[in-house]
Amino acid sequence: MSDVVLKSLDAGVLRLTLNRPEKKNAITQAMYQALAEAMEEAALDSAVRAVLFLGAGDSFCAGNDIGDFIAIASGGTAPAEMSVFRFLKAMAEFDKPVVAGVRGRAVGIGVTLLLHCDMVVVADDALLSVPFVNLALAPEAASSILLSAVIGHQRAFEMFALGEPITGDHAFAWGLANRAVASADVEAEAQRLAGALASRAPGSLRATKRLMRDAAALWAKMQSEGEAFGAQMLSAEAMEAFTAFAQKRAPDFSRS
């Protein structure tokens, strides 16, 4: 396991910690590969009863590493061939409990990942956003259906279309999280919940989760989102958005 994704197993709980605090835990394709391998192995390992996602430092995840993302995309790699899709497929098919503890910023995949978690603990002052449209892209991780299912169409559309962050308190009130606690208490509470799940009857939990989620439908939606994402990634809009991001200015979509 790469040192930018830390892995530990204790009392049935597999902790996966994004470990790039200097980059707010922005995820590279190498990190996606490490995460995919960890989830695939966890699915087959009877010692793993639950998975806990955490972020090192003061943020959960700043989304995709833009520099890494642009470099891979400019090299002609299709979205479906990127390691992120291997990870997303593993998440869609994973039938053991998954918990996340969120502090600071959660952006893009840092939010859509939560839609595949069974329990989420957020800091009350955390900031969550899905600024795909701001980058002239499209939703991913089956979030185009899952986010609406959780918080309703109007709220989900606002989050996607405007890209403005909501607080952890809002995330809890809207149903995106099970608990909103002080930032200092996030990890302990998330660990407590993961431990409680790990102590429950594993076969019963897995059967329950399989009945509650349609893995095949989620994976199909991820693939259709990938097609839209890939088309947008090659668009003039996206080129302007990425250039503006690099130049630290607002994008100009007036000619789109």
In this structure, of 4-18, 65-79, 175-189, 222-236, the range with the lowest mean pLDDT score is: 65-79
pLDDT value, residue 77: 66
Domains defined along the chain, listed by start: 5-184 (3.90.226.10)
In this structure, of 94-98, 161-165, 177-181, 231-235, the range with the lowest mean pLDDT score is: 231-235
The owner of tokens 């089956």 is: 142
The per-residue pLDDT of the chain, averaged, comes to 94
Q: Are 225 and 142 in contact (CB under 8 A)?
A: yes
Residue 118: which of 179, 188, 174, 164 has the closest Cα? 179
- The pLDDT tens digits of the residues spanning 130-175 come to 999 999 999 999 999 999 999 999 999 999 999 999 999 999 999 9
Record the tokens describing residue 242, joined without a space.
Answer: 């990425």
Average pLDDT, integer, range 100-126: 98
Q: How far apart are the first and last CA of the chain?
A: 43
Residue 79: which of 192, 247, 230 has the closest Cα? 230
pLDDT value, residue 68: 82
The owner of tokens 């407590």 is: 192
Does 209 have pLDDT greater than 80? yes
pLDDT value, residue 181: 98
Average pLDDT, integer, range 227-252: 89
Residue 44 CB neighbours (<10 A): 7
Average pLDDT, integer, range 112-122: 98
- The pLDDT tens digits of the residues spanning 182-203 come to 999 999 999 999 999 999 999 9
pLDDT value, residue 80: 65
pLDDT value, residue 246: 84
- 214-218: list long-range contacts, CB under 8 Å, 24+ apart: 215/92, 215/93, 215/95, 218/92, 218/142, 218/146
Distance CA 167, CA 99 (A): 19
